[in-house]
């Protein structure tokens, strides 16, 4: 666990962690170079978030639901918003927060979305002095909620991602592209040009080609 605290001026967007976990270059293109182009997929995601944020709050039995909740952690240096935080009434004075993030697609194999949700939980813990052991991600394509437990390993991964995302944004340097399967679902593939730039001729590649040629 990191003991460093950031100042208000050094806070980065909480969503940058999800971008960094997906691809550090994508994170730098958005948060360093400020490139953000809306594709059909990101528009769909934005509309879904806006719909969630249309309401302020509602109550259902023992659960009070808050929409678009502002978040901040000076320990991780993050600022952002939670789509939804459900507060479950445990007794007259105690409420248990439970963050819920809305995503357009379907559950992913990587941890990007879980890291973003865990960062939200860490913000809530710091702001409200409570422990937040779990939350959920709602995926639009499957229309199902996927519960996430904030165990030690996910917390460690989230803290490490926050640290590395800060380092990347502070450096002001955009890493070169590496073409991988994830590029096909990346909203910045046209600006990044991973196939063209990532395969730029290099002396090393030229020499290895020469060696391979009989
Ligand atoms: S196209 Fe690929 S390398 Fe480029 S930003 Fe997207 S995921 Fe990263």
- Classify residue 211: in a domain, yes or no: no
Pick the atom of ligand 1 nearest to 29's CA. Answer: 5
- Rounded CA separation 138/145 (Å): 4
Mutate which of 186, 191, 193 for ligand 1? The one with the most ligand atoms within 8 Å of its CB, which is: 186
What does the block give as tokens for 132? 């937040």
Residue corresponding to tokens 């439970």: 98
- Classify residue 52: in a domain, yes or no: yes
Taking the model in full, what pTM does it have?
0.84
- Rounded CA separation 210/214 (Å): 8
DSSP symbol at 184: G
Mutate which of 42, 112, 183, 187 for ligand 1? The one with the most ligand atoms within 8 Å of its CB, which is: 183
Structural domain total, the chain: 1
- Classify residue 20: in a domain, yes or no: yes
Q: Which residues pair with 85 in a beta bridge?
A: 66, 99
Task: Give 143-156 pLDDT, tens digit per residue.
Answer: 899 999 999 999 99
- Classify residue 192: in a domain, yes or no: no
Q: Is the CB of 122 under 6 A from ligand 1?
A: no
Q: Is the CB of 166 under 6 A from ligand 1?
A: no
The two counts, helices (H) then strands (E), for the chain are: 8, 7
pLDDT of residue 50: 66
Under 8 Å between Cβ of 12 and 116: no
pLDDT of residue 39: 53
User: What are the average pLDDT values for consecutive 10-residue runs of the chain, which has 214 residues?
Assistant: 81 96 96 75 61 75 94 97 95 93 83 96 97 95 92 98 98 94 91 79 54 48
Task: Give 9-55 pLDDT, tens digit per residue.
Answer: 999 999 999 999 999 999 999 999 998 765 555 656 666 666 666 66
What does the block give as tokens for 42? 């990101």
- Classify residue 203: in a domain, yes or no: no
pLDDT of residue 80: 97
CATH number (domain holding residue 140): 3.90.320.10
**Among residues 83, 86, 79, which one has the least CA distance to residue 119?**
79
Question: What's the alpha-carbon Rg for the chain, to the nearest Å?
Answer: 20
Determine which helix (DSSP H) or strand (DSSP E) holds 89, and give its type and residue range: strand 78-89
Mutate which of 23, 35, 181 for ligand 1? The one with the most ligand atoms within 8 Å of its CB, which is: 23
- Classify residue 78: in a domain, yes or no: yes
């Amino acid at each position: 666990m990191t003991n460093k605290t950031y100042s208000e001026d050094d806070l980065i967007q909480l969503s940058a962690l999800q971008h960094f976990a997906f691809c550090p270059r994508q994170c730098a293109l958005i948060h360093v170079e400020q490139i953000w182009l809306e594709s059909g997929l990101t528009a769909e995601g934005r509309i879904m978030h806006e719909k969630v944020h249309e309401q302020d709050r509602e109550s259902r039995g023992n659960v009070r639901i808050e929409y678009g909740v502002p978040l901040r952690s000076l320990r991780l240096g993050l600022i952002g918003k939670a789509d939804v935080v459900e507060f479950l009434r445990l007794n007259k004075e105690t409420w248990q927060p439970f963050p819920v993030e809305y995503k357009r697609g379907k559950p992913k194999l990587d941890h990007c979305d879980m890291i973003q949700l865990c960062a939200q939980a860490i913000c809530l813990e710091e702001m409200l002095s409570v422990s937040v052991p779990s939350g959920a991600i709602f995926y639009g394509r499957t229309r199902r909620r996927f519960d996430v437990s904030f165990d030690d390993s996910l917390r460690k991964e989230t803290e490490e991602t926050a640290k590395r995302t800060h380092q990347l944004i502070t450096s002001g340097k955009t890493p070169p592209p590496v073409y991988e399967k994830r590029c096909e679902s990346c909203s910045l593939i046209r600006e990044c040009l991973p196939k063209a730039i990532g395969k730029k001729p290099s002396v090393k590649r030229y020499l290895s080609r020469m060696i391979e040629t009989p």
